[in-house]
Structure 1
Amino acid sequence: MSRIRLSGCILAAIVSICIFSAVYVRRSCLELLDILARVQVHTEQADYAAAAQAAVELNQAWSHATPRLNMLVSSDKLTQIGGALSRLIPLIDTENDELGAEIATSRTLLEQLYYGEIPVLNRLF
C-alpha cells in the first residue's frame, strides 16, 4: 500500500510541476507581448523616445524571465526570441524601416512559445 501512495505522490508532483511550468511560460509571454504592443504603438505614433524606453523595459523583462525559461523551454526557441528582441533597440535608435517587420517577428515568436505551452490532449497520442 505504501508503494501505491508513493507512486501517487510522485505522479502528483510531476503533474503539478508540468502545470506550473506551463502557467509560468504563458504568464511570461503575456507580459512580454504586452510590452511589445506598447513598443509597436509608440513606433506607429512616431514617438521613438518612448518606444526606445519601452524596448529597454522589454529587454529587462526578457533578461528577468530567461533564467527560469531556460529550465522549462528549449534553448533554440529562447535564442531566436532573444535575438529578435535585442535587434529592436538599434532599429528604434536609427528609425529603420525594418522595425515593423522585426516587431512582427518578435510577436510571432512569442505567440508560438505561448501557444506551444498549452496542454492539448492530441499531443499525447
Structure 2
Amino acid sequence: MRNVSLRSSNLSRRRRSFATVGVDPSVIGFGPAFAIPGAVKSAGLKLNDINLFEINEAFASQYVYCCKKLNLDPAKLNVNGGAIALGHPLGATSARCVATLLNEMKRRGRDCRFGVISMCIDLRK
C-alpha cells in the first residue's frame, strides 16, 4: 500500500456520522448490514449516494450477506479485496480499512465523494 497524504489528496477528512448496533453473537459478522443504513441516514445520505464501501469481513459469507441485505452493487464493495484478500492485521484493522478506502477514493478522483467503512467487533469475554 502506498502512503496517503490527506493534505495533498483533496479528500475531505470528515467523519459525517457513525452508528453502532448490537446483534446476537451468533451472527456478529452481520452487524454492518444493520449499522450502515443508520450511519448513512444520519449523514443525510442514501445508500445510493455512497461511492465505495469498505466492509471488513471475517469470512466470505459476511460479505455476501451484507451485499445482499443492503442491495449493494458489488462493484462498490471492497473493490481491492477485503480482509480475506488483503489481510487482517491485528490491532490495525481500522487503519487498513481507512488507508484502503482513501487510496481508492483518491485514485478515482472528484466523482468519488462518499465512502463507508464498517467493521464488527466481538465484546464477549
Instruction: Give the alignment's TM-score, normalised by structure 1.
Output: 0.27
Query: Higher strand fraction: Structure 1 or Structure 2?
Result: 2
Q: Radius of gyration: which is bigger?
A: 1
Query: Higher helix fraction: Structure 1 or Structure 2?
Result: 1
